Amino acid sequence: MAIYQVIKTVQIKRALTGEQETFTVVQGTEMFCVRGRQIQSTHIYWVPTGEDVADEENYLAPVDDPDYNLQLDFQIYREKYGVLMPAEVKKIREDYQLSLRQYALILGISYSTLSEIENGLILQSDEQESLFQLSRNRVAFKNLIVAKEAVMSASQFQRIQDKIAQL
């Protein structure tokens, strides 16, 4: 069980109701399992005014950023296990001057999955990470493009080949 400490009080105006609400913000270091691997992370929770800050049942995700703790866990996981950060994945794609759809097609993943990875909304699988790492090597990436020719239209394949040839 983690020990939580009060770090501040915040007031926000609720968009739907227009009412001001006050929350006590607490933080505590917790152990979490991400992809079967243990990580330690300092999470932040908001507790509505009037609720017991010692009772974890009252802990809410930060109202101003509900994904904060999850994003923090992903960042720690990426750092600890050498997984590419979202910006690094995006940079690989942009260095090849490929659209999200083109890069996803070459890698054999969905466009929406690639978009979510680049925006830090999901953590890439080990297999996807291997593809990203492989695509950092220009020769290996060109070979991957050739191997994917059968799943592309002739015009798609030619456009991608032309872009890569110009680099």
For residue range 98-135, list pLDDT tens digits in order: 999 999 999 999 999 999 999 999 999 999 999 999 99
Q: Are 105 and 145 in contact (CB under 8 A)?
A: no
Cα distance between residue 138 and residue 141, in whole Å: 5
Q: For 48-85, how does the pLDDT look when each residue is reduced to its tens digit (9 = 90+)?
A: 999 999 999 999 999 999 999 999 999 999 999 999 99
Residue with tokens 């492989």: 134
Is pLDDT of 1 > 70? no
* Residue that finishes a domain, picked among 81, 97, 122: 81
Shared domain check, 73 and 14: yes
Same structural domain, 96 and 125: yes
* pTM tops 0.85, yes or no: no
Stretch 151-165: mean pLDDT: 84
Q: Where does the pLDDT of residue 7 fall: very low under 50, low under 70, confident under 90, or very high at 90 and above?
A: very high
What is the three-class DSSP state of 128? helix
For residue 39, the enclosing domain spans 4-81
How many domains is the chain built from?
2
Q: Are residues 97 and 73 in the same domain?
A: no
pLDDT at 152: 82
